[in-house]
């Protein structure tokens, strides 16, 4: 128990000591370590996703957005989480199958994590931390919250769940970040 508490403190401290999203590593949906630094030089949209949510159809829009801009240096990273209404109950394999079968998802998908609460993954501690990200920090309210990250790994914008992938404000922000 004490060891887990110390691990949690260490992970939390790492989140606050980070200088960009590039300081974090997640597991891919297939279990491979995926350092976010592998996306250096790209504009990244981090999205906490879920398969049984009213916003789940946004997967189709996310895939369209990814297809439209991936050759220009843009990547979407799907981060499954079961923190809201138990709307992502499946295993990583089930999530992957769901995404492929229903939405032909080709953008990178990570393994399931927690994006709020006591078990929040360090990346989301950083993304939601007001000291690290005063303009975009704050608790995740629901699935499909989107964080836009510039080519240097800095969080530059946040879009709540109701902002669709094709919303003018999101597309404009992606295009502006790609132009820098």
pLDDT at residue 91 above 90?
yes
Class for the domain spanning 2-179: alpha beta
pLDDT value at residue 5: 41
Which amino acids are annotated catalytic? 53
3-state SS string over 46-87? EEEECCCCCCCCHHHHHHHHHHHHHHHCEEEEEEEECCCCCC
Secondary structure (3-state) at 116: coil
CA gap 81, 51 in Å, rounded:
9
pLDDT in tens, 21-73: 999 999 999 999 999 999 999 999 999 999 999 999 999 999 999 999 999 99
pLDDT value at residue 8: 44
pLDDT in tens, 119-158: 999 999 999 999 999 999 999 999 999 999 999 999 999 9
Any idea where the domains of the chain sit in the sequence? 2-179
pTM for the whole structure: 0.90
Q: Which of 129, 119, 179, 178 is nearest to 158 (CA)?
A: 129
Secondary structure (3-state) at 131: coil
The tokens 């964080």 sit on which residue?
A: 147
């Amino acid at each position: 128990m004490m060891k887990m508490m110390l691990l949690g403190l260490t992970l939390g401290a790492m989140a606050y000591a980070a200088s960009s999203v590039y300081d974090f590593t997640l597991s891919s949906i297939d279990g491979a370590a995926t350092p976010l630094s592998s996306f250096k030089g790209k504009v990244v949209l981090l999205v906490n996703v879920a398969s049984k949510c009213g916003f789940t159809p946004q997967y189709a829009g996310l895939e369209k957005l990814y297809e439209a801009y991936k050759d220009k240096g843009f990547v979407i990273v799907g981060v499954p989480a079961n923190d809201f209404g138990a709307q992502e109950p499946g295993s990583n394999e089930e999530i992957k199958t769901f995404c492929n079968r229903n939405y032909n998802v080709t953008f990178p998908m990570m393994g399931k994590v927690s994006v709020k609460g006591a078990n929040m993954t360090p990346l989301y501690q950083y993304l939601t931390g007001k000291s690290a990200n005063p303009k975009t920090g704050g608790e995740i309210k629901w699935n499909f919250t989107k964080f836009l990250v510039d080519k240097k790994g800095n969080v530059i914008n946040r879009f709540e769940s109701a902002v669709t992938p094709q919303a003018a404000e999101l597309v404009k922000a992606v295009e502006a970040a790609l132009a820098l």
